[in-house]
Amino acid sequence: MMRGPAGRIALAIVFAVLVASPLIIKRVTSRGERAKSRLSAQDALARHGFYLEEVSHAAGVNFVHQGPTLDPQLNHIMPQVASMGASVSIVDFDRDGWPDIYVTSSKEGTKNALYRNMHDGTFKDVAEEMGIADVNRSGTGVSMGAVWGDYDNDGYEDLLLIKWGKPELFHNDGGHSFTRVTEQVGLPQWINANTALWFDYDGDGLLDLFIGGYYSEDVDLWHLKNTKMMPDSFEYAKNGGRKYLFHNLGNGKFEEVSEKVGINSRRWALASAAADLRGTGHPDLFVANDYGVSELYFNDGKRFHEVGEQTGVGFAPKSGMNASFGDILNQGRYSVYVSNISEEGVLIQGNNLWVPKEGTNGSNLQYENLARDFGVEIGGWSFGAQFGDLNNDGTLDLYLTNGYVSLDHDRSYWYDFSKIAGGHSAIIIDAKNWPSMEGRSLSGYQTKHVWLNDGSGKFVDVAQAVGVTDRYDGRAVTFADLWNRGVLDVIVANQRGPLLIYKNTVTPENKWIEFALEGTKSNRSAIGAEVTVFWNGQQQKQEVSGGSGFAAQNQRRLHFGLGKSSQIEKVLIRWPCGTIQTIENPAVNQIHEVKEPS
């Protein structure tokens, strides 16, 4: 028994320490997590191996995204409802070997831009002359994203444009112009979509198309029948848009087969990505949903099976806004990064880094969320993110953009937002019940995150140090070696903000290799092809993607950093049709153009 004064004093001391423990933990964990101060280019290069310089103006890119103006019944919450649409995708539309940039705007009547790479450090907007600029006409909806894929295998990447409105497919006519083929291929009249991707789910050599709806497709956001179009729950909503899977029939037509193959969801999809997660040769599909759990569909080549809960990724509902894959531990296995919302003092969802559990694979594959352990958990109101080796040290780093609505610096909408988010579905579903924003910000002006991977399970945020200092409301992030220099440049689309081009300068000590693949039996875009590079006793796997992150698509070419190693043992390429190709000792610091063996 410790009833005496000494015992009481000891208890009080322990109690005081425990009460103070959150402050102690905060101090300890924040040490070394973030290099807060900006470094000079030379210091950043010496310390982190790279630095980023924003060069959009110098490159001739002066694109500013503009948001839509929806039905006046939404005026009181317009900034948050009209808070998406800035997207960016990378494509070499004219096959000149230099990446071009397609970027969307979302104000009615504004034009999208296709920036042709002029090979001299500058870009020129050719969207108008190509016929893919004027796509936001009143009554047709506005752009939300774009993904490129060569659906007819003619060698030129075609453009799928998703909208809150009528989706559009444009056929690329030899890199000289585009022809609208929306009606011929059978796309629906109206979808409120925020995510789409090209992938060959059945391995028939033809690219199929997945589109994920956000708002229900019977909602015309410019002419609301009523205001009950909001999610019916903040974390369990199932009144979102339907999902579409368009099977490519090969004759310029598509058949919608989602229900037939097991994709039947009305969650609020914001991001999707596909990769062969189990080594079956078939791409599995990951869908990150706002207002709910993520969904993971295992693909057996004919049907999809939703295994979110079984694999662990679909248990805790959050606000999924990104899906990207990366072999972050150089083990030949993909982790998945899903972005969510974290706002100090209000809502701490934390982003998810789903890492495959050791000892699980195939149909027993399971994931655990290691975002906290790896240091990539808290990213504000997170949106798009991508994995890529920014300093060519041989490990994949992570770039995350964020920020939701930046209006009045000093007034926040969070209190009102949290109030309505806690309400019953009958309240939350009706936009007229939402308090007016009145010019207030909602997680605005946030600092971005560039997490450097140390290769052993720790990421350190170096954004400020390497020059990423913008505070726009970031949406889409893409990586591309814009000037064929062997480095990944970063392109960021911001909501109601400028398109940013961060030109990357990497220490020349670090080597690299890139692969530009072209399918023959497989789809010609080689989407789904998997490249594993073996070097210096390690391996890294990457897959050609038909869309990933949030409203984004990286360059088709795969980029590998190699650190100081100047020799590669071998490279394995697994083509979507199953062919395995081995390249022994390829030269480093080169772009390798590889055609699928016929």
Partner 1 sequence: MSQQSIPMTPRQTVKPVAWKRFFSAENRYLAPILITCILVVGNLSFGMLESYKKTGLAIVASLLTEMILGRLFVGKWPNLSSAYITGISVGILVRSPAFWPYAICAIVSIMSKYVLRVKGRHIWNPSNFGISVLLFLAPETVASLSIQWGNYLLPMAVIWILGSIIIWRVRRFHITGTYVACFVVFAFLRSYLTGSPWQSEIAPLTGPMYQLFIFFMITDPKTTVRSTKWQCIVVGIIALVEMILRLSQVVYAPFYALFLVGPAALLIQMWRDSRRAVPARVAA
Site string for partner 1, 435-474 (x = CB under 8 A): xx--------------------------------------
Q: At 373, which helix (H) or strand (E)?
A: helix 371-374
Q: Is 587 in the site for partner 1 (CB under 8 A)?
A: no
What is the nearest approach in angstroms of partner 1 to the Cβ of residue 347? 5
Q: What is the dihedral of CA 148, 475, 540, 31, to 10 degrees?
A: 170
Q: Which of residues 508-567 bind partner 1 (CB under 8 A)?
A: none
Q: Which of 95, 432, 564, 595 binds partner 1 (CB under 8 A)?
A: 432
Give dist(CA 346, CA 240) in Å, integer.
25
Q: Is 357 in the site for partner 1 (CB under 8 A)?
A: no
Q: Which of 60, 131, 262, 423 binds partner 1 (CB under 8 A)?
A: 423
Tokens 């409203």 sit at which residue? 551
* Number of H-type helices and E-type strands within the chain: 11, 40
Apex CA 321: angle with CA 317 and CA 324, to 5°?
105
Nearer to partner 1 by Cβ, of 314 and 388: the residue is: 314
Q: Which of residues 269-328 bind partner 1 (CB under 8 A)?
A: 315-317
Q: Which of 75, 153, 177, 412 binds partner 1 (CB under 8 A)?
A: 412
Task: Give Cα 438 distance to the centre of its chain.
Answer: 30
What is the nearest approach in angstroms of partner 1 to the Cβ of residue 168? 33
Q: Is 408 in the site for partner 1 (CB under 8 A)?
A: no
**Binding region for partner 1 (CB under 8 A) out of 119-127, 146-154, 344-352, 495-503:** 344-352
Q: Among candidates 402, 393, 351, which has minimal Cα distance to 376?
A: 351
3-state helix, strand, coil in the chain (%, to 5): 15, 35, 50
**Binding region for partner 1 (CB under 8 A) out of 7-15, 194-202, 538-546, 567-575:** 7-15
Nearer to partner 1 by Cβ, of 23 and 456: the residue is: 23
Q: Is 372 in the site for partner 1 (CB under 8 A)?
A: yes
Q: What is the dihedral of CA 418, 422, 424, 427, to 10 degrees?
A: -10
Q: Is 226 in the site for partner 1 (CB under 8 A)?
A: no
Q: Is 483 in the site for partner 1 (CB under 8 A)?
A: no
Which residues are paired to 193 by β-bridges?
213
* Residue 39, SS3 per DSSP: coil
What is the nearest approach in angstroms of partner 1 to the Cβ of residue 427? 5
Q: Which of residues 232-271 bind partner 1 (CB under 8 A)?
A: 232-238
With 0-12 / 13-18 / 19 or more C-beta atoms within 10 angstroms meaning exposed / middle / buried, residue 9 is exposed
Give dist(CA 247, CA 442) in Å, integer.
40
Task: Count the site residues for partner 1 by CB under 8 A.
Answer: 60
What is the identity of the amino acid at 538?
Answer: Q
Q: Is 199 in the site for partner 1 (CB under 8 A)?
A: no
What is the identity of the amino acid at 593?
Answer: E
Q: Is 375 in the site for partner 1 (CB under 8 A)?
A: no
Q: Which of 322, 369, 504, 554 binds partner 1 (CB under 8 A)?
A: 369
DSSP line for 249-307? -SSS-EEE-HHHHT----SEEEEEEEE-SSSSSS-EEEEEEETB--EEEEE-SS-EEE-
Let me know: does 298 contact 310? Beta carbons within 8 Å. no
- For residue 65, CA distances in Å to 115, 447, 588 come to 14, 19, 38
What is the nearest approach in angstroms of partner 1 to the Cβ of residue 464? 18
What is the nearest approach in angstroms of partner 1 to the Cβ of residue 241? 17
**Binding region for partner 1 (CB under 8 A) out of 12-20, 156-164, 221-229, 532-540:** 12-20
Q: Is 64 in the site for partner 1 (CB under 8 A)?
A: no
Q: Which of 5, 345, 359, 537 binds partner 1 (CB under 8 A)?
A: 345
Sign of CA dihedral 191, 195, 200, 206: positive
Q: Is 229 in the site for partner 1 (CB under 8 A)?
A: no
Q: Is 58 in the site for partner 1 (CB under 8 A)?
A: no
Q: Tokens in use for 157? A: 């990447």
Nearer to partner 1 by Cβ, of 199 and 337: the residue is: 337
Q: Which of 55, 421, 516, 588 binds partner 1 (CB under 8 A)?
A: 421
Let me know: does 100 contact 556? Beta carbons within 8 Å. no
Nearer to partner 1 by Cβ, of 14 and 580: the residue is: 14
Binding stretches for partner 1 (CB under 8 A) = 1-3, 7-8, 11-12, 14-15, 18-23, 25-26, 232-238, 315-317, 344-350, 369, 371-372, 377-378, 412, 414-416, 418-428, 430, 432-436
